Every structure is written in C-alpha cells, then in structure tokens.
Amino acid sequence: MKILVVGGGGREHALCWKLAQSQEVHKIYCAPGNAGTALVAENVRIAADDIDNLVLFADHQNVDLTVVGPERPLLLGIVDAFEARGLRIFGPSREPAMLEGSKAFSKEIMRRAGIPTGDFAVFEDTGKARDYLKAQTFPIVVKADGEAGGKGVVVAQDFAEADSAIRRFMEERIFGASGDKVVIEQCLFGEEASVMAFVDGETVIPMTAVQDHKRALDGDLGPNTGGMGAYAPVPAAPLAVVEEVTRRILRPAVEAVRGTGIPYRGILYAGVMLTDAGPMCLEFNCRFGDPETQVVLPLLTSDLASIFSAAVDAELETVPVKFAHRSALTVVLASGGYPGDYEVGKPITGLDAASKLDAVAVFHAGTRKNDEGQVVTTGGRVLSITATGETFAEARERCYAGVRRIQFEEMQYRTDIGYRAL
C-alpha cells in the first residue's frame, strides 16, 4: 500500500512512524513533512491546504490511501475533493468536519443528540450577547464560533473579561469571520480528558484516554498553547469511563451526523470534563490531537494502516484495534517565547542520543534540515519526546531522560507533564 500523510507536525511524524511499522505499507509520502518524517517517509513540497495539488499528486502517484492530520484541510473539503476524483482518503468530509469548524454547529448537534454538555447560548449580535452575560454567574466560557488556532476560547472570571472577549471576537474581529458568532457556555469543573475514536460511519472504536497540558508553564500557568505534553492512560478515565464517553458522547454524535445524510468517517475526538455528574462534552475535534497522537500511537499494538483502510471501507468491525497495557508520556520542546514571538533557525543537538534510549521516540514538529545538513528549528513547537514504560513512573523517567539529551538555544519545556497521575 502507498500512503500519503497530509501535514507537517509532530502528529504527522507519529502517524508516519506507526504506518512504517505496517506490513501492508511499502511507501509513505508526507506533505509537506519535516526533518523527522523524512526519516520514515518521502517528503513532498505541497502545503497541507493546497488541496488541488494534493489531489493531483495522489492521483499521479497512484496513492492507495491518504490520511489527513490537521483540521484545516478537512474544513476546506479535502475529503470531498479526493472522493470526487475516486481517491481513497481517511477523514470526515467538509460538512461533518464542522463539528470542529463551528462551535455553534457542534453544540447544536450535542443538544439534538442529548449529549451531556454545559448549558449554552449562541449569539450573532453583540448587544444580545452582553445582555445575556448580565444575567449569568461567573466564571463563564466565551468561544469564537470558527477556527481560531486554539486561541478562541476564554474562561472569563467576571463580566469585564467576558465583555472583552466579545469585543475582540465580534467587533475587533481578531479571528475574522470566525468571530461572527460566539458561543457563551457554562463553565464546567473537574478533570479534563481526551477520548479519540476511529469511526467508519457507524462503528465507533475508542482509543486509550489521554490528558494533555495546554498551558505554557509548569503548574498550568502562562498562556494557552497547542499543547505542551500529554500522557496516557489517565487514572481518572479508566476503561469504564472511556466506555461511558463512547456510549453517551461519541456514538450519539456519529448517529446525529449520519441523520444529516452524510456519514462521519475518520477520527472523532471528544474533549470531556470528568464532573461529579459524569463525563460532559466540552468540544469535538475531527482529527487526531497533537500531542495526544504521540502518546496513543506508541501504545497501539494493531496495524494502523489496516484500521484506516477498514474505516474508509466501512468495515471497521472486521479489524482488531488493541492497545498495550503500558503507560506513555510525551513532552513538547518549544522555541523560547512560544506561544508568542520566537526565533527560528536554531541548530538542534542530541537527537540521535535521545532516539537511542530504550523505549524513547523523538517526533519532529517545527524542524527542517538546513543547507549544511543540520536539523534546525522552524516553529513554535519543535519536538515531542515520547517514552513508554510498564508503569507511568518508568515512562516519565525515560521521557525526561530523552529530553535532557536534546539542546537548542532558548529551548523551553514543562517539567511537570503528568503531574496529576503522580
């Protein structure tokens, strides 16, 4: 099987790495890829959102299956474009992908399907949004409706903070059309977890629950990021909780989307709050999480290519999907200043030394090789160092041993990933 992986981050390196272990796969392309994907795949100089050229490439190279990493190509309709050309692709089409692309659509699906979630209201008028806020208790959550690069959610502690979010999203339009609507919702309390599932339109098979760390600094301080680390499994979300999330959140969402006339195929990711009243849905994503993928895939013992292929053919129930009873932890190494301004082009050392450690994998994100053949930084999140172990403590110790081998100027990372599981 020839496979094309679309994207160029740590998630896509992990996907290429896992697919390369499959007996079914003899060639992997990654577009655009990074210095890490180049170790296990052939990088292709096509941007992840250049759908026309990705279609042409897959057609010309006789690619058997395309796997999409990031959300943007999905929201732009990459699946629709590939299927129109008769090409096999794993991921939801544009309309079901609006589960991630529109917070208002997502919450409406939750309401329609009876999925447990916080109370909410949707506004297109700033005056009505402010009037609604005056009658609410705080904290409260204000979300821009559309894509905002993970920065469109504000947990407002008081009216002034909520009002500021509405002004920035709707009036200053800092996220453009994504702020034309806002969702204002109840703030839920508890421990967060992420449950991702393989979906073929009908069958839903969940993966091990993951907990990620969004804040930039130790102690969950500092600004929100794309994710500074993650671990699995989650003590607060054992198998019984994962089964409950599947039964009460994931399956009803898939059935509700199917009711609109277009089946949901791909990854469905539920961000949940584990409350005293049970798991409640915070959000849906329509793709693998990053860095969640970097801990889940090392625990997967089944053939990933076979799973993807079966899902595309609506035959997911025919393949085994099994996970090792081990622990995994990943730590993101970021450029100094991230998630704000940062410099790029910093040479990275210690990659081989870290990769040679027992049960450690180094997944590249913002990296490339320069003209001298050195691997240098190109982004905010640079690397994900992942380790597995028989116990959480063993995985964590191995992971940070890998982190200590690697250096680049102004490197920053959190030293407390997985602290809730200690």
The pLDDT value recorded for residue 192 is 96
Cis amide leading into 233 (omega within 30):
yes
Lowest mean pLDDT among 38-47, 146-155, 203-212: 146-155
- Among residues 62, 18, 12, the alpha carbon closest in space to that of 32 is found at 12
State residue 149's pLDDT score.
76
Tell whether the model's pLDDT for residue 293 goes beyond 90: yes
What's 269's DSSP letter?
E
Are residues 357 and 398 in contact, defined by beta-carbon separation less than 8 angstroms?
yes
Q: What is the mean pLDDT of residues 198-223?
A: 97
Per-residue pLDDT reduced to its tens digit, 1-33: 999 999 999 999 999 999 999 999 999 999 999
Q: What is the CA radius of gyration of the chain?
A: 21
pLDDT of residue 224: 86
272-283 per-position pLDDT tens digit: 999 999 999 999
Residue 209 half-sphere exposure, CB side, CA atoms within 13 Å? Answer: 25
pLDDT surpasses 90 at 422? no
Candidates 3.40.50.20, 3.90.1650.10, 1.10.1060.10, 1.20.1560.10; CATH matching 2-93: 3.40.50.20
Residues, the chain: 422
Task: Tell me the pLDDT tens digit for each residue of 83-94.
Answer: 999 999 999 999
CB 183 within 8 A of CB 104: yes
pLDDT band at 148 (very low <50, low <70, confident <90, very high): confident
Give CA–CA dist 63/130, Å, rounded.
51
Mean pLDDT of 45-49: 99
Residue by residue, DSSP assigns 354-368 as HHTSTTEEEEESSEE
The CATH 3.30.470.20 domain(s) of the chain lie at 191-318
How far, in Å, CA of 223 to CA of 259, rounded? 39
pLDDT-based confidence at 374, cuts 50/70/90? very high
What local confidence, expressed as pLDDT, does residue 208 receive? 98
> Is 151 in contact with 165 (CB distance < 8 Å)?
no
d(CA 300, CA 277): 30
Residues 6+ apart with CB under 8 A from 61: 2, 4, 29
In terms of CATH, what superfamily is 191-318? ATP-grasp fold, B domain (3.30.470.20)
- Asked whether the CA dihedral 225, 48, 198, 147 is positive or negative, the reply is positive
| Per-residue confidence (pLDDT) for residue 271, from 0 to 100 | 98
Q: What is the pLDDT of residue 55?
A: 99
CA distance 329 to 397: 9
Q: pTM for this structure? A: 0.97
CA distance 327 to 288: 19
* Omega before 235 within 30 of 0, i.e. cis: no
Q: How far apart are CA 307 and CA 200, in angstroms?
A: 10
Q: Where in the chain is the domain with CATH 3.90.600.10?
A: 327-421
- CATH 3.40.50.20 domain range(s) in the chain: 2-93
What topology does CATH give the domain 327-421?
Answer: Glycinamide Ribonucleotide Synthetase; Chain A, domain 4 (3.90.600)
pLDDT exceeds 90 at position 150 = no
Residue 101 to residue 141: CA distance in whole angstroms:
18
* Region 125-180: CATH code: 3.30.1490.20
Residue 236 tokens, joined: 């607060």
Strands 153-156 vs 140-144: parallel, antiparallel or unpaired: antiparallel
What are the start and end residues of each CATH 3.30.1490.20 domain in the chain?
Answer: 125-180
Does residue 263 contact residue 202 with C-beta atoms inside 8 Å? yes
Q: Which residue matches tokens 């008081």?
A: 158
Q: What is the DSSP letter of 398?
A: H
To which residue do tokens 């993966």 refer? 207
Q: Is the pLDDT of residue 134 over 90?
A: yes
- Tokens 């081998």, residue located: 405
Average pLDDT over residues 183-191: 97
φ/ψ (deg, to 5) at 367: -135, 155
pLDDT reported for residue 31 = 99
Write down the H helix ranges in 31-138. Answer: 51-60, 71-75, 78-84, 98-101, 103-113, 126-134
Give Cα 197 to chain centroid, integer Å.
12
Average pLDDT of every residue of the chain: 97
